[in-house]
Amino acid sequence: MGSPSSLLLLTAAFVFLSVSSASSIPIPKLFTQCLEENSQNPIPFSTTFFTPQNNASFTSVLESTAQNLRYLLPSMTKPEFIFTPLEDSHVQAAVLCAKKLKIHMRVRSGGHDYEGLSFVSLIEKPFMIIDLAKLRAIQVDIAHNTAWVEVGATLGEVYYRISEKSPVHAFPAGVCPSVGVGGHITGGGYGSLHRNMDLPLTTS
């Protein structure tokens, strides 16, 4: 029977090897494993998960909403990966996994971004982008004067869907049609109706 000191050394060595093995797994791999464990429905990673190493579309997805070229310079820090969820449960799983793995998350909806706040991180590394542009369903209920809009839609899309339903209804949001709904509601803005209808959803 081994001595207590020998058993202690073996235990310490096993723990060290286990920690080393876990830490050697790339962050994107750990994240996808976590997503599979926490998402209610399957995720097609080939069309929703983009890394610089494994997906030729990474750069085009990263630059898809960028308007300020300064934030696309090679010197700027790039995300470890980009995840484009297809439904609410994917978003919930992504938030849980980012917290669990201590990955800084930048959130991007479907519109433009002049300041790079949704795809650049100057503070924390590693970081990821959760791009919500594929969540852009719009349901307009004229009878009840309401609309249900997913975060990835743009203001222009919202205005268009409302105009399809009614020639007299409107939504008091911003002037620029390429602004994402998510960014507009959380960040603020102003539009042509704000003097008449105030800014119910456009104050930050």
| Domain CATH code at residue 117 | 3.30.43.10
| Domain final residue, candidates 103, 131, 159 | 131
Task: Report how far residue 110's alpha carbon sits from residue 155's, in angstroms, rounded to the nearest whole number.
Answer: 10
Task: Say what the pLDDT of residue 5 is.
Answer: 54
Kindly report whether the peptide bond that precedes residue 126 is cis, defined as omega within 30 degrees of 0: yes
In a shared domain, residues 115 and 31? yes
Spell out the alpha helix ranges (H) of the chain: 4-23, 27-38, 45-48, 58-62, 88-101, 155-165, 181-187, 194-197
Name the nearest CA neighbour of 80 among 124, 38, 139, 21.
Answer: 124
In a shared domain, residues 126 and 143? no
In a shared domain, residues 36 and 91? yes
Task: Write the single-letter amino acid at 14.
Answer: F
Instruction: Name the strands in the sheet holding 127-131, side by side, starting at the edge strand that comes first in the sequence.
Output: 49-50, 82-83, 127-131, 104-108
Name the nearest CA neighbour of 165 among 197, 135, 183, 140.
Answer: 140
Q: pLDDT tens digits for 13-63? A: 444 444 444 568 899 999 999 999 999 999 999 999 999 987 789 999 998
In a shared domain, residues 51 and 74? yes
**pLDDT at position 165 over 90:** yes
Tokens 């209920």: give the residue. Answer: 141
Is residue 142 within 8 A of residue 152, CB to CB? The reply is: no
Q: Is 18 within a domain? A: no
Q: Is 61 within a domain? A: yes
Domain with 143, as residue range(s), is: 138-197
Task: Report how far residue 103's alpha carbon sits from residue 82's, in angstroms, rounded to the nearest whole number.
Answer: 12
Task: Say what the pLDDT of residue 124 is.
Answer: 66
| Domain final residue, candidates 87, 108, 131 | 131
Q: pLDDT tens digits for 66-85? A: 888 888 888 888 999 999 99
Q: How many domains does the chain have?
A: 2
In a shared domain, residues 181 and 111? no
Confidence of residue 12 (pLDDT cuts 50, 70, 90): very low
- What mean pLDDT do residues 178-199 have? 75
In a shared domain, residues 48 and 94? yes
Task: Say what the pLDDT of residue 191 is.
Answer: 74
Q: Is 160 within a domain? A: yes
Look up residue 202 and give its two tokens. Answer: 């456009």
In a shared domain, residues 38 and 91? yes
Confidence of residue 197 (pLDDT cuts 50, 70, 90): low
In a shared domain, residues 109 and 176? no
Q: Is 120 within a domain? A: yes
Task: Say what the pLDDT of residue 115 is.
Answer: 80
Confidence of residue 169 (pLDDT cuts 50, 70, 90): very high
Task: Report how far residue 157's alpha carbon sits from residue 109's, in angstroms, rounded to the nearest whole number.
Answer: 13
| Domain final residue, candidates 131, 150, 168 | 131
